[in-house]
Amino acid sequence: MGAPEPRLGAGGVESPSLGAGQGARILLVDDDPVYLTLTSHALTQAGFVVTTAADGQSALGAASRGDFDAMLLDALLPDLDGFEVCRRLRGHPAHEHLPVLMITGRDDDPSIARAYDVGATDFLVKTTQFTLLIGRVQYMLRGAQTRAELERSKERLARAQSLARMGSCSWRAVDGRLSAPFVISPEALTVLGFDPSARVTARRALRRVMAADRRGLIRLLNQAARQQAPLSADIGLSLPDGRRRVVHVDAEPEGMDALGALQYTGVIQDFTDRRQAEDRIRHLADFDPLTGLPNRRQILWRAERALDAARAQQHRMALLLVDLDRFKLINDTLGHGMGDDLLVEAARRLRDCVRHVDQLHEGALQDAHARSHRQYEAVGRLGGDEFVALLPEIGSLDDVQRIAERMLEALRKPIMLDGQECFVTASIGVCLYPEEGDSVADLLRNADVAMYAVKAQGRNAALPFTPGLSTQARERLNLETALHKALERGELFLRYQPSLDSTTSRIVGAEALMRWRRDEHDIMPADFIPLAEESGLIVPMTEWALKQVAAQVKRWEQRLAFAGTVAVNMPARMLRRLDLVDFIEGITYEAGISPRRLKLEITETSLMDQVDQVLETLQQLRSLGVKISIDDFGTGYSSLAYLTRHPISELKIDRSFVQRLGVDSRSNAVVAAVIAMSRALDLRVVAEGVETRRQMEILQFLGCTQMQGYHFAHPLDPPDFEGFHAAVHRRPMGKWNSDA
Ligand code: C2E
Ligand code: CA
Ligand code: CA
């Protein structure tokens, strides 16, 4: 290793005046001064750089001081003979490989043998034919150079192998079975976690393989040997200190030896880092970064594999499509950050409801045993608030129903978001293979149909797919597409229901109620508003309504000297819009009306859901003069303290209480309480859905004078509203006191 490099070829000290010797440094040792001079002269002529020594001691001294490429050593020296010099030289690691040409007497066979014994590189019978001598020296130097290069490349290989954490090994296979000798390089030993100098048998090496992989590996080795095939496998190791490692083995059969054994040579490489990197990359590609669940790609891939297994083994499998209810609302009202937190928690709970297997171990050693399809079981995130649970093998629909119930139950507990309790439910559509679909796409589509059916039936439940459901779903889809077009085509219009002060019989305002004229029929809000809210269309629809109302108010101001307010129903998500105040300011300015002419009706429940998020918006609206009315009041169990924190101008008693006035005493009590409460809070109170004189009178008796309902007027087209307005103001009193 520490051998001096011969100064030959590249890297050597070259000078144009030098000949064959090329500046190689020679230590010439001889006690014959004449021979020494002649040889030295000849070598110098040939381009060598010569140092001379006349006895053994000074030769060793010169060798230890100088850096020589070769030594010419006379066998017979006065003090130590050449053999002894050579022997001592070789004992020194720096000179282990120094080329030494021993110069011996003529035909002295024993000394030739001795020369080799003591480690001489070559010998030459003493000669004055210097070309021969020079030829020998050159030959010897070239040999040394080759050896040094080999040494260097071996070193480099070893270094490269240890950098690549790779080593080599070889073994034999007799009759298709692993057989000794098993040879393994020090680098490979390191890879396997052994000391590089340890003696390791195949059996001992195999014990490093993880128990789960060991039998598979032996099977693979034997199988490759039988087929005389190359072997390539990733193997999990478990080291004595408990660490895990993944190594990759690549081996090729090299041919038969004389005994009929197949010789394999191969490389063993530590793949742990690479595998971890691959795992990380795979994780990024296959898992949802937010919830850590398998993503759409991964869960669909698993579903395909599970379906293959179900087909082959003739068992059932199930897909459950889980969609969180009203998640959009939560996201819109509480903000995306909290929406994300909620998704993470919901994902965690759903995941716990199945035997979720995160990591799939694929690869050569995976035992394809009968139950391995079970490992596909998982909950994945399809996107947004949609999850899918894959159950690769189930007995019956009841089993699935049980899991669906477990999921609904898991979600029932409140989720804490920023110190606030939130409730989330889910709608689950179930689809079974083979009954309701025999491709993943079909299963997913039908699970989706079932899920929508759950939504339509009031959410928070699970339903299996049945063929009848798909027509309903299609209708819904048609409706949604049509609604998109309705807005563009001007199929939407507003009716205005007057509200009156029943003591003066004056119109105090109106509520704009939306209708959809579709194929000659008027579709009522109940049949399209929920859909519009779910699809988000409600936002442009409400903007449209606000603009319509502003223009209508302007017209009535001019024609009827109308001084009331017109109310527009505000969906929850509108309030979250940061530009709502600007928008309203803009449209009222454009229409040329005061924002005081506008009222926004917010349902009690949607206001409760948004809590403090919309407070600032409401305050800004109020300072603009816009009135805020709480719609359907009494259905949402608002607390009084809570209401006083909001800039509200009006409560609208829900129709359901008004209609049971005089029928059930609890309604009387609720209405009385609401009226008292609004008095205390200095809020206006309006009763909606007043259909009879009796209801009107009870309300008047309880102290509520402002009313809206069929008893006075239905929602009216603008011309009818104008007619009604004229009639009321011509003959204000009396009319409402009969039940006609
Ligand atoms: P709402 O805000 O509670 O509106 C009052 C509903 O009660 C209206 O139904 C109205 O026609 C009806 N009504 C009025 N007087 C009586 C009565 O004496 N008896 C009975 N039984 N009903 C009466 P409509 O127009 O079908 O609207 C239903 C719901 O649809 C509304 O309830 C509101 O929540 C929603 N909606 C209507 N128009 C819009 C709109 O432009 N935007 C939004 N976001 N929602 C709207
Ligand atoms: Ca309303
Ligand atoms: Ca209402």
The model's confidence at residue 473, banded by pLDDT at 50, 70 and 90, is low
Both structure tokens of 477: 């889809």
> What's the pLDDT tens digit per position in 59-102?
999 999 888 999 999 988 888 889 999 999 998 888 988 999 99
Look at 476 and 714; give whichever has higher pLDDT: 714
Q: What are phi and psi of 38, to 5 degrees?
A: -65, -50
> What's the pLDDT tens digit per position in 588-607?
999 999 999 999 999 887 77
Q: Where are the beta strands (DSSP E) in 257-315?
A: 262-270
> What's the pLDDT tens digit per position in 200-249?
888 899 899 988 888 888 888 888 888 888 988 888 899 888 888 989 99
Listed ranges 176-180, 281-285, 438-442, 451-455; the one with the highest mean pLDDT:
438-442
pLDDT for 734: 59
What is the rounded CA–CA span in Å between residue 565 and residue 578?
24
Kindly state the DSSP code that residue 662 receives in the 8-state scheme. Answer: T
| C-beta separation of 735 from 516 below 8 A | no
Look at 230 and 471; give whichever has higher pLDDT: 230
- Residue 334 Cα to ligand 2 midpoint, Å, equals 24
Closest CA to 707 of 729, 722, 692, 717: 692
pLDDT for 639: 60
The model's confidence at residue 637, banded by pLDDT at 50, 70 and 90, is low
> What's the pLDDT tens digit per position in 332-358?
777 888 899 999 999 999 999 998 877
Total Cβ atoms within 10 A of residue 664: 11
- Residue 631 Cα to ligand 3 midpoint, Å, equals 5
Span between the terminal Cα atoms of the chain, in Å: 119
DSSP-H helix ranges across 457-537: 467-489, 529-535
What is the rounded CA–CA span in Å between residue 499 and residue 565?
10
Q: Which helix (H) or strand (E) holds 214?
A: helix 211-226
Is the N-terminal amide bond of 93 cis, ω within 30° of 0? no
Ligand 1 nearest atom to the CA of residue 538, by list position: 44
What is the rounded CA–CA span in Å between residue 250 and residue 230?
7
Closest CA to 580 of 615, 605, 551, 543: 543
Task: Give 3-state DSSP helix, strand, coil % of the chain, rounded to 5.
Answer: 45, 25, 30
Q: What are phi and psi of 380, to 5 degrees?
A: -120, 165
Q: Nearest ligand to the C-alpha of residue 525?
A: 1
What is the rounded CA–CA span in Å between residue 79 and residue 470?
111
User: What is the CA angle 231-201-152, rounded to 5?
Assistant: 75
Closest CA to 476 of 526, 516, 527: 527
Provide the residues around ligand 3 (an ion) whose CB is within 5 A.
631-632
Q: Nearest ligand to the C-alpha of residue 513?
A: 1
What is the rounded CA–CA span in Å between residue 584 and residue 373?
58
**Cβ of 715 less than 6 Å from ligand 1:** yes
Ligand 1 pocket test: pick from 569, 630, 631 the residue with the most ligand atoms within 8 Å of its Cβ.
569
Whether 480 has a pLDDT exceeding 90, the answer reads no
SS3 15: coil
pTM of the predicted model over 0.75: no
Give the CA dihedral 531, 533, 537, 541, nearest 10 degrees.
Answer: 110
**Cβ of 595 less than 6 Å from ligand 1:** no
pLDDT for 636: 66
pLDDT for 533: 86
Q: What residue has token string 């019978």?
A: 125
What is the rounded CA–CA span in Å between residue 557 and residue 46?
121
The identity of residue 53, as a single letter, is A
Whether 688 has a pLDDT exceeding 90, the answer reads yes
pLDDT for 703: 92
**Cβ of 634 less than 6 Å from ligand 1:** no
HSE (side-chain half, CA atoms, 13 Å) at 354: 30
What is the rounded CA–CA span in Å between residue 510 and residue 508?
7
